[in-house]
Amino acid sequence: FGTVIVIEHEFSLHSIVGRVDTPAVKPGDAVRRAQFLARVPAGPGSSQPVYLELRHGREAVDPRLWLKKNE
C-alpha cells in the first residue's frame, strides 16, 4: 500500500489510509474531522485508488457503514 497513515480513534478503532504520496501529518500528530492528511499520486500510472480500511480491534469493518452514520 505504499505510504500508510494509521489514525487511532477511541474505542479500539483505527483508520488505515494507504497509497498516499506526501503525508501532511506526522506520527503522534492529533488529527481532527475533515483534516487534510496527504496528497495522493496523480498522473499516468497512478490508477490505484487510495486505500481506506477501518478496524475495530483486529476485525475489519466496512468503512462505508461508519461513514454513513457520521455524515
Query: C-alpha angle 6/10/49, rounded to 5°?
Result: 30
Kindly give, in sequence order, each residue whose CB lies less than 8 Å from that of residue 55, ignoring residues fewer than 6 positions away: 13, 14, 16, 61
Residue 4's pLDDT band (boundaries 50, 70, 90)?
A: very high
Kindly give, in sequence order, each residue whose CB lies less than 8 Å from that of residue 7, ignoring residues fewer than 6 positions away: 14, 15, 16, 17, 31
Residue 40's pLDDT band (boundaries 50, 70, 90)?
A: confident
C-alpha cell at 6: 494509521
For residue 45, the model assigns a pLDDT of: 66
pTM for the model: 0.78
Indicate whether 41 pLDDT > 90: no
